[in-house]
Amino acid sequence: MKLLNYTTSYLAGILLAVILVWAAIFYFNMLDEIYDSMDDGLGNQKILVIQKAARDSTVFARRDFEDGYYRLKEISFAQAQHRKDVYQDTLMYMLNEQDYEPIRMLTTVFRHQNRFYELRVITSMVEEDDLIEDLLFALLWLYLGLIASILVLNNILLKRIWQPFYKLLQRLQEFRLEEPSQLVAEPTEVTEFQLLNSTIEKLLQKNIETYTSQKVFIENAAHELQTPLAISLNKLELLAEGQNLQEDQLTQIGAVMQNLERLTRLNKSLLLLSKIENKQFGPVEEVNINEAVQKVVSDFADQATYRNLTIQVQETAICRQQLNPDLALILIINLVKNAIMHNVPGGSVNISIDKNSFVIQNSGKAEPLNDHKLFNRFYKNTDSPGSTGLGLAIAKAIADLYQFRITYEYQQLHQIAVYFN
């Protein structure tokens, strides 16, 4: 949900609650005012009737409300001595409505020529159910009008006010650390947006400097390590070719050379992994995964034969994907090499390709691997001296770079699948 709509939803809820509370208070205050007004009118009518009775004795003959708004009834002194004015709501049958309608009635007592009379004066009143219905409709239209006004305000005024924020978000989405460019902030007079722009600009600049420094360090370290490693290997090879070395000395030199070769492979793998994670590879293009797999299988044919392994490739469709060709080959090489290295003599490697996936199965230990650690760096399930523990980590980094999904499962065969979509 967008920020403006999120704010509007809360505002609409609060506004509804406020209007409901205000409506209840307004309703009871309005009823109180209406009753006060009617009671004042009834009091005035009472005085007029009493004054009229003092002048005209025919008033005392009014016994019901059939042709007027009041009626008189003579009562005893005992009935009259403790009586006070009483205002009450009641119902009366109205001929025009053909139904009982609410009225307001004043019951009072007055004295005339030592005789006591009960006077009842009535007036029509507002029907509360009609009043509530009209008030609810009025409030509903008011609420809808306010919400519509708020939406218009949000989409015209507030959206313009928040424009620098949205521009900043757009530029952050387009920003790439591996291809840094200057982040030009939208001019704004809002202090908070100015602070946000300056803070993000400083943060990005610091990240760019750190990234560049790390990139240069990794490249220099890898390059500087490669040279002494190559020199050391060459010198050891020359030393091993000498004529005066004993067998145990040659064995030790061979062990040292193996470690140096492993260190060389490890250095290259770490550099490759760093470049992948830092997105230092070139632009993407369409890669035919079927052709890449056939090339890699052909390259590993001798190694598979040496280990007495059979490699089968099943193609159900042509798989074309957008990625860097070098990384595509590295991904396939690492998975095929992993399936060969961690296999058993006389085992098999089965590769299947369809339009949106690449699946490789291999025989091996008759137990599942730890799928939570399998793609971690330096995780090795075997003690193979040729393994650096980075092959599957590199494959996972390539998959993550292009948002592919890579999974592992075990069902009599070890299976690693790459889903491109």
Sign of CA dihedral 407, 305, 364, 382: negative
User: pLDDT tens digits, residue range 318-351?
Assistant: 898 888 888 888 888 888 888 888 888 888 899 8
Which among 322, 331, 333 is positioned nearest to 394, based on CA atoms? 331
Three-state SS for 291? helix
Q: Exposure pattern of 355-370 as b/e (b: 16+ CB <10 Å)?
A: eebbbbbbbbeeeebe
Predicted TM-score (pTM) of this structure: 0.48
The strand pair at 357-362 and 413-419 is best described as: antiparallel
pLDDT at 386: 55
The strand pair at 70-75 and 86-94 is best described as: unpaired
pLDDT at 227: 67
CA 213 to the chain's CA centroid: 35
Enumerate residues 6+ apart whose C-beta is below 8 A from 205: none
pLDDT at 228: 72
pLDDT at 281: 67
pLDDT at 50: 86
Three-state SS for 177? coil
CA distances to 104, 325, 336, 345, 381 from 318, in Å: 90, 16, 19, 31, 33
Which among 255, 125, 202, 10 is positioned nearest to 1, based on CA atoms? 10
pLDDT at 71: 86
pLDDT at 180: 62
pLDDT at 69: 82
pLDDT at 209: 76
Q: According to CATH, what is the number of the domain 285-419?
A: 3.30.565.10
Please tell me the distance from the alpha carbon of residue 164 to that of residue 185, in angstroms, as a whole number.
8
Tokens at 245, concatenated: 């070395």
Tokens at 344, concatenated: 């058993």
Please tell me the distance from the alpha carbon of residue 250 to that of residue 253, in angstroms, as a whole number.
5
Residue found under tokens 């005209």: 56
Which residues, given as ranges, of the chain have pLDDT below 70? Answer: 1-5, 66-67, 176-186, 218-227, 229, 242-243, 261-263, 265-282, 377-389
CA distances to 11, 136, 368 from 17, in Å: 10, 14, 59
Beta bridge partners of 115: 112
Angle at 28 (CA atoms; ends 22, 32), nearest 5 degrees? 140
Tokens at 251, concatenated: 């064995």
